Homo-oligomer: A and B are copies of this chain.
Amino acid sequence: MTTPRFSRTEIVDTASLAAATETISKHHSIRQPVAIIGTGLLGTSIGLGLRAAGLEVLLTDPSPSAQAVAEDIGAGRGLTQEDQPGTVVVAAPPDVTGEEVIAALQRWPEAIVLDIASVKTAIVREVEHAVQTGRITPRDSLRYLGTHPMAGRERSGPVAARGELFTAAPWVLCTQPDTPRQVIYVASDVARLLGATIYHMSPEEHDAAVAKISHLPQIAASLLASRLQDTSVQALQLAGNGLRDTTRIAASDPSLWVQILTANAEQILPELHGMKSDLDRLIHTLSQPTASGARLDVAQLMDEGNRGQARIPGKHGGPAQGFALVTILVDDTPGALVSALQAVADAGVNVEDLRMEHSSGYQVGMLELSVVPGHKKHLVDSLTELGWKVL
């Protein structure tokens, strides 16, 4: 990576940022060249990141144009018949990942093969089945490790790829008891060079985890958003951040999610049954809202929602924290946000989290900042004194 002209050392915590970006130790166990099978968003991003780390990367994709774009933006060179990759990363859609893993294990008998699909047990079972039917040997299968980098974009395809995509993102390595250490080292090094945070889980633990924290939320958002199809424009004018937040991920790509949800159906179903049970109970209660016990029942659901939500880790994976919110009215121009945040910085208060709130009608935005509760009053006073409108 080129040295930036603009030195940011005066404002960074060099230890942590360096650890996450440029000065990551280049020492690694990855056998080169690395072949990436599938140059979509993730595969191409992996290529870009590994190239930036100085590795030799080979690319292949069924779509000649997808592969050409990936090569053009510098993610690697085209894989040829003569190439003997030492490491293979299968970055294909979940549906074909199993077959691509098996094909790679067969084609390059010395290579370590990783995949990055969102579901892991299904892939592992496909590989095991290939052993049982004699397509590959048990030793072959030990060269494979399932992994899952949890990063993504709203866009797909190689054009949207960025080498930094995985920075500080979770990367799960689904090691099993018989996974050879060398394979684990290689997978760890790939994740580390790309700046990710490594977690170890079995394939089953992984699938159960993502069912709850990724797949169920996706389903809930889609179920909720689909109700809006026949909602009047007038009603939608009243939409606030609650609706936007709960339906944001309903804009996801159907073709990808069909593959994910059907592949992980086994882990998702218990969650859906649980949700259905709670929903049935709520329907029953609200059918007799004035009955004795109705309010307690609804209160219990709300309370359980409070408890569950509070368990989600806060900033940087630490304990869930209660920050105070400060909302500043900002005009809808490029300089306004900078001005507002400069005023916050001048007050010496760190912004723990921030988002824009949409306004209905007037051309103003509301900048909602999360700050440590003890700093709130000082910040509100400082901003108000400077003439800012603080909600």
Contact = CB atoms under 8 A, between A and B. Distances in A.
Given A19-B362, A168-B364, A305 B223 contact: yes
SS class, residues of chain A in contact with chain B: helix
Contacts of A361: 168, 170, 197, 316-317
Given A20-B362, A209-B234, A312 B12 contact: no
A303 B290 CA distance: 38
Interface stretch (A97-105, A126-134, A265-273): A265-273
Q: Which of A233, A254, A269, A350 has the most CB of B within 10 A?
A: A254
A213 B199 contact: no
A68 to B, nearest CB: 19
A235 B265 CA distance: 18
Interface stretch (A58-66, A72-80, A236-244): A236-244
Contacts of A251: 305-306, 309-310
27 contacts: A5-B387, A8-B387, A13-B333, A21-B329, A167-B362, A172-B238, A197-B361, A205-B234, A209-B231, A213-B235, A221-B309, A223-B275, A225-B305, A227-B275, A229-B308, A237-B317, A239-B313, A242-B249, A250-B306, A257-B302, A258-B298, A258-B299, A273-B283, A334-B351, A338-B338, A341-B341, A351-B356
B257 A364 contact: no
Given A272-B286, A298-B261, A308-B229, A13 B329 contact: no
Given A16-B364, A228-B312, A257-B302, 11 more contacts: A5-B387, A6-B386, A13-B332, A165-B391, A212-B228, A225-B307, A227-B275, A245-B246, A254-B299, A262-B289, A354-B356
